[in-house]
Structure 1
């Protein structure tokens, strides 16, 4: 019975995902991230726009990248997030960026690809254990050289090798590394346990450049986002950090699904 229900849920998710991908005039305009947020103030409408954007507006290289990482458990996330990153990077052109929690390199390689396609220099950094270490809600593949696998994906897309640190984000060397820079953009996508996410947030918030962007993954549980069957609102840890801290301390500039986007408008 459980298997049957799971199969039905998967069939529905596949159907809904294809339905969301059908071309619609309402979502046909190519907009910046800021313009899209203004045009679609509803979280669900903005998510729909970004999902549609990947399939009908984004450069073919971005869609091909998503297809590659959707195979063989190379990456997680959702189609709409590729469009989110495209619109954010194309608009703000961050020069110094950091990902916490690299996994197999889907996001950091996407950053490199977007900056390459848009013709601006972007120095990509990543902090990750590059191991199958999980948390209370996540389990990862064993018997995989995560660092080499990530670098191989960068080579596949003919991208420069990022600056990686093989540490947990709570290690002193990782914290020192975060705090010795002023980042134009940081993506928190590491351990989902509340105390770890809070630590990541506090160190990253204080290390943003003026106008710097902070994106927190898996963090929309306590918002009005109603995920379609193929989407996901997030986990408790990141969602609590967003609700209790980020929404009060930074400027919220938009959200795509379970990714909430903030800006440090006033500087530190």
Structure 2
């Protein structure tokens, strides 16, 4: 079974963060207001209100920079230019990950430019949103947060101290089993639905979890360290040996 990048884009809510009204940790700062989307959420533990404001601004900046539909965005320029395009360090990093993922790009880290090597527009397969959660989480911890969770669509990245001693509570849609609470200790979870099947991947970085979804829906084993679960449809559910390394349910 061959799965194209366009077939693995998340299309509906499959993951959500738990509301931490009775959490052990305090203070907790929470925001739903990011880049005019209602599926973007930030939770910051410790630090001060400025940390979550900066994180929100960073998410907004990266979303604009990586919006394929927005004229003037760096990914749009790469898609329409005939030659190398100067880009920001964050986009240079993104392009390098996309190149490793098999997308036809040439990345020159010396000159800070990216060139599209195919006549077809690039399809980043959800990796920009995933990488944004990784970068913003790292930025929040560096700014003084004790813990942070960043949710963008069907991608959740958590880092640092969680609201509970066991970690962060993430709810995932497991097909006929409905919403199930999962405890994510550290790392990221990404999910996608393809027909009647739901695939969930967990790894230390969100972009790695998102990348693993392509392998899951193709029926291939992801890398050994990836925690993965596939449920729904007529085929039996299966999971990787690494699932319990990241998740306890």
The normalised TM-score by structure 1 is: 0.25
From the two aligned structures, give the one with the greater helix fraction: 1
Q: Relative contact order: is structure 1 or structure 2 higher (C-alpha 8 Å, sep ≥ 6)?
A: 2
The normalised TM-score by structure 2 is: 0.26
Greater percentage in strand: 2
